[in-house]
Amino acid sequence: MALPPGARIAVAAALGVVTVLVAAHLAMVFLHIAPSNTLSKRYGELVSEHINPEFEQNWKLFAPNPLQQNVAVHARAEVLRPDGTTERTGWVDLSGMDVENIRGNPFPSHTDQNELRRAWDFFTGSHDEENRPTGLRGELSEEYLKRIVMLRFGSELNGGEVRKIQVRSATTPVGTPPWSDENVGTETTYRVLPWWAVDSTDVPEGK
């Protein structure tokens, strides 16, 4: 059945908008990965804001330096109970939650596979070893990581209101295969971030 003229116009307009958005995104990705040129220099900040952190491209999977560590992101919270007392929760393995959602799922979501991992890469790439921001993106990376944690925790946890959160990474080197003579330690090391205060702006709507 043919669509009425008004519906055809609406469909055509929607397709036009989608086409423009897809073309703009592909152009941003191209400028991000292409060698430095006049356009990438002129619009570098705009391209970076669009690409990072969700669409960033990198070559960490490949030689000469493939990843040789398992990095998990943990978080805990300080909650305020109705009686006025505060309590700190135990560490929650957020990366482990993502792994459980991925394992056995033939079509795992992009969020489970990449959101938390990319957020941590974004943070470490914009902070020094003392967790101090090294550029303008440092504060943005903190806010992004904080909102992801609050998306998992929600505004209330363990019977109290979440007032502060703390994040850490747990890095465990991948053991060597039995046939290798290389001796690599597999002890887990931690990078613990400071406590961050949270408020209503850090809690996604409906959480």
The verdict on 159 and 97 lying in the same domain is yes
**Residue 57 located in a structural domain:** no
- The answer to whether residues 149 and 141 touch, using CB atoms and an 8 Å cutoff, is no
- The answer to whether residues 172 and 188 touch, using CB atoms and an 8 Å cutoff, is yes
Domain that holds residue 26: 5-51
The verdict on 25 and 101 lying in the same domain is no
The verdict on 46 and 73 lying in the same domain is no
**Residue 56 located in a structural domain:** no
**Residue 138 located in a structural domain:** yes
Give me the tens of pLDDT residue by residue for the chain, a chain 207 residues long.
Answer: 567 777 888 888 999 999 998 998 888 888 877 777 787 778 777 887 777 766 666 655 555 555 678 899 999 999 999 998 999 999 999 999 999 999 998 888 888 888 999 999 999 999 999 999 988 888 899 999 999 999 999 999 988 999 999 999 999 988 777 777 777 778 899 999 999 999 877 776 656
Domain count, the chain: 2
